[in-house]
Structures are given as structure tokens and as C-alpha cells.
Chain A
Amino acid sequence: MMLLPCPWCGPRNATEFRFGGAAGSRPDPATTTPEQWRRYLYFHTNPRGWQTESWYHAAGCRRFLTVERNTLTHEVRSAHDAREDAR
């Protein structure tokens, strides 16, 4: 079992959340070339270790959070409101 510290609900089982992949900003579709857009869609750093990720608390507060998680040990270092990254 892996616990994720939801900023609103506290530590909850990861099964309550939906994994959203590595966090990152989306390029502007109006100004990117098709090749840049596909690179954004398909290519991943896929690290073996620490990764900053998006998670969605589907069976809880239904809010998005940004989590720092180790993909090898499943250790979680931090979690915060994903809206803070959008600013």
C-alpha cells in the first residue's frame, strides 16, 4: 500500500487517486509545431527515482495535486495543490 498526503484530506491510500503522469506545463497548441506537440504528448523522462507527478483524488476531494514521489521506492517527499503550479 502506498499513502499519498492529500493537502485537503490528509494521508490516503493511493487506490483513491488516479495517476496523471509526470507533471509539466502544456505548450500552447496555437503556437507549437506538430512535432513539438507530439514530443510533449508521447515522450517521457521516465526516471528511475524522484519524479514530480500529477495525481487526481478521484475517490476523495476530487482535486488535483502535485506529488514528489520516488518511482523505485514509492517514498513520497511532498504534495501540494496543483493550482499553485499553474500560476
Chain B
Amino acid sequence: MSALNGNGNGHRRVRGYSAWSLLRHGLAHSPWPRAWHDHELRGSYDAVIIGGGVHGLATAYYLARDHGMRNIAVLERAYIGSGGSGRNTAILRSNYLTPEGVRFYDRSIKLYEHLAADLNYNVMFSQRGHLTLAHNDASLRTMRWRTEVNKLQGVDSEVIDADRVKELVPHLDTSDETRYPVLGALYHPPGGIVRHDAVVWGYARAADAHGVHIHQQTEVTGIDVSHGRVTGVRTNRGRIATPVVLNATAGWSSLVSHMAGVEMPVQTFPLQAAVTEPVRPFLDTVVVSGTLHVYVSQTDRGELVFGASVDPFASYSVRGSLEFTEGIAGHVLELMPALARMRLLRQWAGLCDMTPDYSPIMGPTPVEGFYVDVGWGTYGFKAGPVSGEAMAACLAEGKPPEIISAFGLDRFLEGRLVGEKGAAAVGH
């Protein structure tokens, strides 16, 4: 375990990458060691995590680092980060509407702020500020409500007027000549963007250094349940005996839970996004319009990333559609007419498992030993670190920690919905 050393507070940090190692490898042209390794599939593990995205890998990492578990497998059907973790628009924020939601996402932002040092992996978190535009009085009213909830939870959030918005984003059309004039915005300075692949790779490397087995190209074909308890997982590479299974998938959360006989209050919808050719930097905030169903940010490479709300009907297809391209182009030009000559490079889609209350489903299920961290809709990536931390505690102790206690599967049949309308899928 030479890649690990103490940091004084009981946690061990992953070490290996530094300015010195970069210089040494650069001068010597020596190959970098692999960031994570392939392993033979063992016949049994203490815990099996299904889904090699940011949620699954973060859970494995915190289980190994904070709870002393070593014999953990992460099973990924394709390659790590191939699902929602590599398809989102990489926006981080915590200015949600419900106190449960704000507390939860704020913890995630705090973990993201220290993630690069913690994982010894540059995740390129840029806290450039996040603007949610208000185009009508109803939006402004909801934003005032949101900003008060945010402030009560200690989150930096304020409502600003159109002139201030224009100062922050000079290219935005804030005139009153438009179909949807900008009346103001909810301004959230700690929000920003992060390199989403780096988050996945950083967690994978750190989990691997703590002894976690990451199995790519390993598809789960069944989950064995005996007398109401999980006993194992069947895969295309053989059977694994295990007392603990976590479903940390997106787009597959119903299908994997059904293997264990657990019903899910989930419907799967695609969400499409697109990226333009790179241009010089001109946009240093994230701009979101709920009314126009669009969010825009500029990456470090200069590309503009556009995202929308989910497609209008349920689907497991990740094909792009012309309706999306037409719609997003119109809405972006409504906000920033100067972008009329920009060209789109590519578009893609990811699968969002939508729940009735726009909040996730985290914790135990009626099947003992079978846990879920699913239903992440359009907000899963920004919650990766805190979900990993909370689910690791849940798996290690067998019961959900306080921070996720509102997100249990039992809330639906008991009628305790969370109602997180600060989620991106809702247009206000």
C-alpha cells in the first residue's frame, strides 16, 4: 500500500500524482502506472456494488476508506463512467428548494471542493457561479423562497436583478424585447462545473488503491434471494456469493431491482445534451433557464455545453432527436442571440430514472441485504460524493444515516414524498 499515507485525521489519502512525478515522467518518458487494475472475479465478496459510475465507485471508496471493508466488488456492464456519469453536463450546485435537498447537495459540494486533494486526482472543479434565470413573477417568487431556504441552511444564494445579471453575463439578452424577458436570477456563487470523467477515474483509482475490485464488462444477470435475504449475484462471468448488494445504476434501476423482486416507483426518460465547436472564453458562469428548459456553460476547452429537460415520453433509447436540436437552438438563441453562427459538434442522451417527487431513493429495501441508490433523475452526478459517503455508512451499519433518512423507498407507500421542485426537470 505504498500509494497511501496518513493525513492526520484517521483517513488515509491516496498519493502518487504530484508536480514532481509529472516532471520526472515527462523528462524520462517513462510510462505511468495503471490507475486501476483488472482482477479475477472472486467467488465471494463482503459487498457487491452494481454500477461503475460515480455513485458506485464513491460508495466503494468510502466503504474501504472509512469503514475498513476491503473485500468489495464494483460490477460494471460496459466501462466505468459509461452511463450517466459520463453523459451529464457536469454542473454542480446546492440551491435546492427543500431543506432535505439543500443539506444533502451542500454536503456534496463541500466534498467536491476537497475532492482533488482527497483523491490525489485533478477533477478541475471550477466554482464559477450558477445563475437560474427568472422570466416571470411566479419564478421570482419561487426563487425568493429558494434563496431563504438556502440561507437558512448556510448556502450562499441570492436573488439578483436583471442589471446585475447583465454584468455577470454580458452576452445575455436582458432587454424587454424578447418573448421571455429576464426579470432577475437566483445567483449561487459556489455552483460551477467539474470534469465528470476525472471524478469517475479519481474515485476508481482511489478505490483500487484501497483494495476494491473494479470489474468492467461484467453484466449482472440475476440476484439470488433466499428467505427474504440476498445471497449472491449472477453475472456473465460467474456467480458471486455476497450478503450485501447495492443497486447503484441509472437507466437500469428498475431492471436490477426487479431481479431481487423489489418494485420501483421509477420511470426512465432520456435527457439530451449537445456541445458546440470550441470558441474563445466569453462565458464564466453557468446559465440556466427553467422556463426555456435549457442550461449553458463553457468548458475549459471553449466548447459550449447545452442541456435540456428530459424527453417528453418514457424511453430506454439514447438516440438523439431533431426536435431536441431545434428546440435547444431556439432557446439558446432566445437567451444569447450572438451565438447564431455557432455550430453544434455532437449531441447525445443519457437515461434518467425519474421518481414521483424528484428526489432519489436511497437505503434498504424489503429484501434484507439489498440496498438501492437509484432514482437519480437529472441530478445524480452532483450528488455523487455525498451519496457514496452516505451509502457506505448505510451498507456498513445496515441502516441509513440521518442525511438520507428522508429518501427511503418506504416513503412512497407511506405517503411522505419529499417534493424537490428545485430539480432541473421542473420548469420553474
Which A residues fall within an 8 A CB radius of B? 1, 14-15, 18-19, 21, 34-35, 38-39, 41-46, 48, 51, 53, 71-74
Q: Cα distance A30–B254 when bound, in Å?
A: 30
Compute how far the CA of A48 lies from the CA of B318 in the bound complex, rounded to whole angstroms: 12
Q: Point out the residues of chain B lying under 8 angstroms from A51, CB to CB.
A: 314
Tell whether A19 pairs with B254 under 8 Å between CB atoms, given A1-B322, A44-B265, A74-B317. no
Q: Is the CB of B255 within 8 A of A42?
A: no
The interface residues of chain A lying within 8 Å CB-to-CB of B27 are none
Q: Which of A42, A48, A53 contacts B356 (CB 8 A)?
A: A42
Do B267 and A15 touch (CB < 8 A)?
no
Please determine whether A21 and B415 come into contact, CB atoms closer than 8 angstroms.
no
| Closest-CB distance, B277 to chain A (whole angstroms) | 26
Query: Closest approach, in angstroms, between the C-beta of B416 and any C-beta of chain A?
Result: 10
Contact digits for B387-428, partner A, Cβ 8 Å, 1 yes 0 no: 000000000000000000000000011110000000000000
Q: How far is the CA of A21 from the CA of B267 in the complex (A)?
A: 9
Seed contacts A21-B314, A39-B413; 9 additional CB < 8 Å A-B pairs: A19-B313, A43-B263, A43-B264, A43-B412, A44-B265, A45-B254, A48-B255, A72-B316, A72-B317
- Complex contact B263–A71 (CB within 8 A): no
Complex contact A44–B264 (CB within 8 A): yes
Instruction: Kindly list chain A residues whose C-beta atoms are within 8 Å of the C-beta of B254.
Output: 44-46, 48
Q: Could you pull out 7 A-B pairs where Cβ atoms are within 8 angstroms? A: A19-B314, A43-B265, A44-B265, A46-B268, A71-B315, A71-B316, A72-B317
Which residues of chain B have a CB within 8 Å of any CB of chain A? Answer: 254-255, 263-268, 312-317, 321-323, 356, 412-415
Q: Which of chain B's residues have a CB closer than 8 A to the CB of A19?
A: 312-314
- A42 in contact with B317 given A1-B323, A35-B413 (CB within 8 Å): no
Query: Once the chains are docked, how many angstroms separate the CA of A38 from the CA of B412?
Result: 7
* 8 Å CB contact of A38 from B264, B268, B316, B415: B415
Shortest Cβ distance from residue B130 to the other chain A in the assembled complex, whole angstroms: 30
A65 nearest CB across to chain B (Å): 13
Chain B residues closer than 8 Å to A21, beta-carbon distance = 267, 314
Q: Is the CB of A14 within 8 A of B313?
A: yes
Q: Give chain A residues whose Cβ lies under 8 Å from the Cβ of B321.
A: 1
Q: B314 touches which one: A18, A46, A73 (CB < 8 A)?
A: A46
The answer to whether A74 touches B323 (Cβ under 8 A) is: no
* Least CB distance, A45 to chain B, in whole angstroms: 8
Collect the chain A residues with CB atoms within 8 Å of residue B323's CB: 1, 15
A72 nearest CB neighbor, chain B only:
B316
Known: A15-B323, A21-B267, A42-B356. A48 touches B415 (CB 8 A): no
Docked-complex contact A44 and B266, CB < 8 angstroms:
yes
> Contacts A1-B322, A15-B323, A39-B413 known; A46 to B315 CB distance under 8 Å?
no
The 8 closest A-B pairs by CB, nearest first: A19-B313, A46-B254, A42-B265, A42-B412, A48-B316, A72-B316, A42-B356, A43-B265
Q: How far is the CA of A47 from the CA of B414 in the complex (A)?
A: 25
CA distance A15 to B321 in the complex (A): 11
Which residues of chain B are near A43, meaning CB under 8 Å?
A: 263-265, 412
Residue in B313, B316, B323, B356 with the greatest tally of chain A CB atoms within 10 Å: B313
Given contacts A39-B413, A42-B412, A43-B412, contact A71 B264 (CB under 8 A): no
Contacts of B315 in A (CB 8 A): 71-72, 74
The answer for the CA separation of A41 and B314 in the assembled complex, in Å, is 16
User: What CA separation (Å) do A44 and B255 show in the bound complex?
Assistant: 11
Nearest-CB distance from A78 to chain B (Å)?
17
Minimal beta-carbon separation of A27 from chain B (angstroms): 14
Which chain B residues border A45 with CB–CB below 8 Å? 254
Shortest distance in angstroms between A66's beta carbon and chain B's nearest beta carbon?
14
A72 and B319 CA atoms in complex are apart in Å by: 10
* Bound form: Cα–Cα A38–B322 in Å: 36
| A38 CA to B264 CA, complexed, in Å | 12
- Report chain B residues within 8 Å CB of A1: 321-323
Residue of B nearest to A37 (CB): B415
Do A71 and B317 contact each other (CB < 8 Å), given the known contacts A38-B413, A42-B412? yes
Residues of B within 8 A of A73 (CB): 317
Say yes or no: A46 contacts B264, CB within 8 Å.
yes
In whole angstroms, how far apart are the Cα atoms of A51 and B239 in the complex? 31
Report B-chain residues with C-beta under 8 Å of the C-beta of A46. 254, 264, 266-268, 314
Q: How far is the CA of A45 from the CA of B258 in the complex (A)?
A: 9
Q: Which single residue of chain B is at the shortest CB-CB distance from A45?
A: B254
| Nearest-neighbor residue (CB-CB) of B356 within chain A | A42
